[in-house]
Structure 1
Amino acid sequence: MNPEMPADLLAHALAAKGFMPEDEGAFLHRIAHERLSHGPALEIGTYCGKSAIYLGAAAREIGGSVLTIDHHRGSEENQAGWEHHDASLVDDELGLMDTLPVFRRTVARAGLEDQVTAVVGRSTSVATWWRTPVSLLFIDGGHAEVHAQNDYSGFAHWVMAGGALVIHDVLERPEDGGQAPFHVWQRAVGSGCFESRETVGSMRALTRTRGDAGEPVG
């Protein structure tokens, strides 16, 4: 039986700013529910906290921790003049995107501050000192090729044996959108360390079937 999102947290997730359909959020919550008893979950790409609520709900239900990395200045597609720009998220003084205050309010209103911890910085910077095995890695950061590949290179090897790698916005056809997440999925499968497991919408989950946390994955 699939665990359902608690009604109170589902309401917060649906109200939060973000780009994740409800069925994909429920899928992420289910995988987190399966994995969080084995170790922490790590999300790359926080934005305003919508997906963190789905992850945090599982942490509240079964115990465990969720860490979420973002520089909070917005991905390329969030900048002025791009399709997903939200002018309400621009810091008036600096003229730069700043999603951190909205994320903090989102998590506080959901009552998940004890479960969800923000790591503020670029994933490449955080990766240089990260040493913690994770039971679930959710890659949903910048969708430019270099950023998506860096997120995989920096953190995929920290997924523990049997752990889950989840990649968002995997689109096989160029006419449907950017290809970088799909290329990351291809790289994971081609490494021989991950086995494709399940797909819901544009979200694909894999299981680490070879190697231990900290070992290269290719």
Structure 2
Amino acid sequence: MTIALPANIDSVKGFLDKEEGQALVEYARAACAKLPALEVGSYCGKSTLYLAAACQSVGSIVYAVDHHRGSEEHQPGEEYHDPVLFDSQAQKMDSFREFRANIDAAGLTDSVVPIVATSAVAAKMWQTPLGLVFIDGGHSEAAAQADYHGWARHVAPGGFLAIHDLFPNPEEGGQAPINIWRQAQASGLFESVEVRKTLGILRRI
């Protein structure tokens, strides 16, 4: 079955490659008919749109966890800072307004549950099993470890853990995401399924 992606998806700010987005669609459709998906790190909603389109097609939803204040690399003076997303009144990054506008424009509001909080706070009392967890939050070691320990344990058996920005060569990118990828495999709880570009997919055993 071919999923009709939102018409505005190419115009949405974000760092997810189309092939990686297609992988999220495939695995969410496979695992989320009876369980929801959850992503950590929504930014302006590009990955959310892929996941929401897939979840909508099987009658499910995606929880989108992001404090919307930007990761380390989004702050003023950093490499991926976007002045359009800077709230001059609050003197803070704020991607939530653009996130919400993108979800509304795609007609996927009923398939997305935004959780505007840090990953650690959102995970603190979480109880719902998840069909797929997509980790693409802060790329510091501390942030990646918090995301992994907060959410990987909620992936249901047979479900999938997806981790973005895997760079085996340190010269190509930060090592925190690939560190938790390796950690998941070493845990005995997950097995590697595939790596599509920089997106790694593991299955909960």
TM-score tier (shorter):
over 0.9
Q: 1:185 aligns with which of 165, 181, 186?
A: 181
> Does the 8 Å contact 1:167/1:203 carry over to 2?
yes
Query: Where do 4+ consecutive residues of structure 1 move more than 3 Å?
Result: none
Structure-2 separation of matches of 1:12 and 1:59: 18
Query: May I ask how many residue pairs the two structures share in their alignment?
Result: 205
Tell me which residue corresponds to 1:13.
Answer: 9
Structure 1 residue 142: deviation in Å? Answer: 0.3
Tell me which residue corresponds to 2:172.
Answer: 176
Structure 1 residue 13: deviation in Å? Answer: 1.6
Q: Give the gaps of 5 or more residues in structure 2.
A: none
Which amino acid counterpart does residue 41 of structure 1 have in structure 2?
A
Once the two structures are aligned, what percentage of the paired residues are identical? 45
Structure 1 residue 62: deviation in Å? Answer: 1.5
What CA deviation, in whole Å up to 9, does each residue of 1:100-146 have, x standing for no partner?
00000000000000001100101111111111110000000000000
Structure 1 residue 30: deviation in Å? Answer: 0.9
Tell me which residue corresponds to 2:95.
Answer: 99
Tell me which residue corresponds to 1:80.
Answer: 76
3-state SS of paired residue (1:199): strand
Q: What does 1:45-194 align with in structure 2 at a 5 Å threshold?
A: 45-194=41-190
Pairwise CA RMSD: 0.9
Tell me which residue corresponds to 1:213.
Answer: none
Structure 1 residue 46: deviation in Å? Answer: 0.8
Structure-2 separation of matches of 1:64 and 1:5: 14
Structure-1 separation of matches of 2:133 and 2:180: 13
Structure-2 separation of matches of 1:30 and 1:14: 18
3-state SS of paired residue (1:192): coil
> Does the 8 Å contact 1:13/1:51 carry over to 2?
no
Structure 1 residue 208: deviation in Å? Answer: 0.4
Structure 1 residue 38: deviation in Å? Answer: 2.7
What CA deviation, in whole Å up to 9, does each residue of 1:10-58 have, x standing for no partner?
x322111101111111111111111111300010001000000000111
Structure-2 separation of matches of 1:145 and 1:38: 32
3-state SS of paired residue (1:114): helix
> Does the 8 Å contact 1:5/1:26 carry over to 2?
no
